[in-house]
Amino acid sequence: MRTLVWFRGKDLRIHDHPPLLDAAAAGEMIPLFVLDPYFFAPRRAREIPHRMQYLLESLRELADAIAARGSRLVVVEGRSVEVIPRLAAGWRVDRVVAHRWVEPFARERDQRVAGALRVPFILHEGETLLPPGTLRTSAGQPFSVFTPFSRAFLATASIARPLPAPAALPALPDEAAAAPPAEIPTCASLGIEENPRLVRGGETAARERLARFVRRTVAGYHRSRDRLDLDGTSRLSQDLKFGTLSARTVWHAVGTAENEGVRVFKNELIWREFAHSTLWDRPDVLGGPFRREFEGFPWREDEAGWRAWTEGRTGYPVVDAAARQLLGEGFVHNRARMIAASFLAKDMMIDYRRGEAHYLRWLTDGDWAQNNFGWQWSAGCGCDAQAYFRVFNPVLQGEKFDPDGAYVRRWVPELSRLGAKWIHQPWNAPPEALRTAGVSLGNDYPLPIVEHGGVRVRFLMAAKQHLARAASGKE
């Protein structure tokens, strides 16, 4: 049997890759990656520079790993909905196999490919621990609250052990071997300036990060995960997004849930499941709020405020540190993401979808399901969202989770000499403390663009009025 194995950017690994192992065991196989202009057209690639840098590094390592096992990753340019049926026919394959994606645009792509193929198109699960959409309430409905979802997951899920990497792969059939391969692009060829601060792509680096997390961090994860000033998280989000690690590889690597750190971390993996499952059942959430009563919410137009938020010039140090970390290294600590998102959506009352799109552009781990879920949670309009009336105070959040100001000092260096007492509220610092730190507010660092207490009340009034009108049927 001749199998076309379609790698698609969420399974860039050799370990625990059922389509690859199944194809290798069945006979002839052709590993393929399509440089679809949806992502790889230079103009499009430059819109997602951090994700693209990670993807290209991972793709090159995948090609090397396949070559080391006796085969070759065939790289072809073109629209996948046209390339896959054409090559499947030209290479006389018996089937096409790939991993399923949860996003609505990907599901539409797969339907089009399946309809154009004359051979079976087999989609394997693997993006998540359970196939999305399979976990249901006792009434057979999707879960809309996380805690019952988590309980049901833990009570029913049996996570299979990850599969090993193949020791060898069959050589390409003559037709595929004769095809002139396209070159894997470089950042330079796509017009992207490489960012040395990004985490390294590829399965090897991902597995090293996982091993380091298991060895050093996971046991204390429950204590350190919210601290902005500590290296207390896994830093595996981009590896799960691009599939350089499978979710079940991570699940089993961290061990049993008898340790509190392990239990809390696995709960985060289940939260990831919840986000993907919700997107599967409600694909419309990528365009609007999960809670329909938030449709038509009176978001404000504030271009100057928007620019200040994206550039890290709001005058609230922890919010500005998050903005600069995003641009600087394609990552934002989860606690800082929540603080920054709450500030944009609630303090500034700017549409959360603008923040969601901005983060998706710059995050290395920019995942449609996870990013949308987090932003809607922070804005109060999502599935099992933070209540709309909970508005993060950026000063108190900074003081609690960055108590000595190390996170702010790293990303807002103009405040680096300011003492811990004032670093999260420099506008309240005595003049002598500012002079000693070399800070001139309004010059070196901006004054706050809003007063948190006042805009908090503004948001709560607007939300209460809007939801009341929605409940009465006037919206």
Q: Which pLDDT tens digit goes with each residue over 188-205?
A: 999 999 999 999 999 999
Crossing angle (nearest 10°) for helices 394-401 and 334-342: 170
For 244, other C-beta atoms within 10 Å of its C-beta total 31
Looking at residue 17, its amino acid is H
Q: What are the C-alpha distances in Å from 418 to residues 285, 312, 313, 318, 396?
A: 42, 18, 17, 14, 17
Q: What is the pLDDT of residue 313?
A: 98
Q: Report d(CA 357, CA 475) in Å as an integer.
A: 26
Instruction: Write down the domain spans for the chain.
Output: 2-124, 127-162+205-281, 292-470
Burial (CB < 10 A; 0-12, 13-18, 19+), residue 428, is exposed
Distance of CA 255 to the CA centre of its chain: 24
Lookup: tokens for 234: 């896994």
Q: Taking the model in full, what pTM does it have?
A: 0.96
Q: Are 97 and 23 in contact (CB under 8 A)?
A: yes
Whole-angstrom distance, CA of residue 317 vs CA of residue 158: 44
For the chain, the three-class secondary structure string (H helix, E strand, C coil) is CEEEEEECCCCCCCCCCHHHHHHHHHCEEEEEEEECHHHHCHHHHCCCHHHHHHHHHHHHHHHHHHHHCCCCCEEEECCHHHHHHHHHHHCCCCEEEEECCCCHHHHHHHHHHHHHCCCCEEEECCCCCCCCCCCCCCCCCCCCCHHHHHHHHHHHCCCCCCCCCCCCCCCCCHHHHHCCCCCCCCCCCCCCCCCCCCCCCCHHHHHHHHHHHHHHHHHHHHHHCCCCCCCCCCCCHHHHHHCCCCHHHHHHHCCCCCCHHHHHHHHHHHHHHHHHHHHHHCHHHHCCCCCHHHCCCCCCCCHHHHHHHHHCCCCCHHHHHHHHHHHHHCCCCHHHHHHHHHHHHHHCCCCHHHHHHHHHHHCCCCCHHHHHHHHHHHHCCCCCCCCCCCCCCHHHHHHHHCCCCHHHHHHCHHHCCCCCCCCCCHHHCCHHHHHHHCCCECCCECCCCCCHHHHHHHHHHHHHHHHHHHHCCCC
2-124: what fold? Rossmann fold (3.40.50)
Give residues with Cβ within 8 angstroms of 14, minimum separation 6. Answer: 20, 62, 65, 66, 69, 165, 166, 203
| pLDDT of res. 126 | 92
List the one residue out of 260, 226, 220, 222 whose CA is nearest residue 403.
226
CB 88 within 8 A of CB 114: no
Integer distance in angstroms from the first to the last C-alpha of the chain? 58
| pLDDT tens, per residue, the chain with 475 residues | 999 999 999 999 999 999 999 999 999 999 999 999 999 999 999 999 999 999 999 999 999 999 999 999 999 999 999 999 999 999 999 999 999 999 999 999 999 999 999 999 999 999 999 999 999 999 999 999 999 999 999 999 999 999 999 999 999 999 999 988 789 999 999 999 999 999 999 999 999 999 999 999 999 999 999 999 999 999 999 999 999 999 999 999 999 878 999 999 999 999 999 999 999 999 999 999 999 999 999 999 999 999 999 999 999 999 999 999 999 999 999 999 999 999 999 999 999 999 999 999 999 999 999 999 999 999 999 998 778 889 999 999 999 999 999 999 999 999 999 999 999 999 999 999 999 999 999 999 999 999 999 999 999 999 999 999 999 875 4
Q: What is the pLDDT of residue 277?
A: 97
CATH number of 292-470: 1.10.579.10
pLDDT score recorded for residue 384:
82
What type of residue is 218?
V
Report yes or no: 121 and 96 within 8 Å, Cβ to Cβ.
Answer: yes
Q: 59 near 184, Cβ under 8 Å?
A: yes
Domain at 127-162+205-281, CATH from 3.40.50.1860, 3.40.50.300, 3.30.450.20, 1.25.40.80: 1.25.40.80
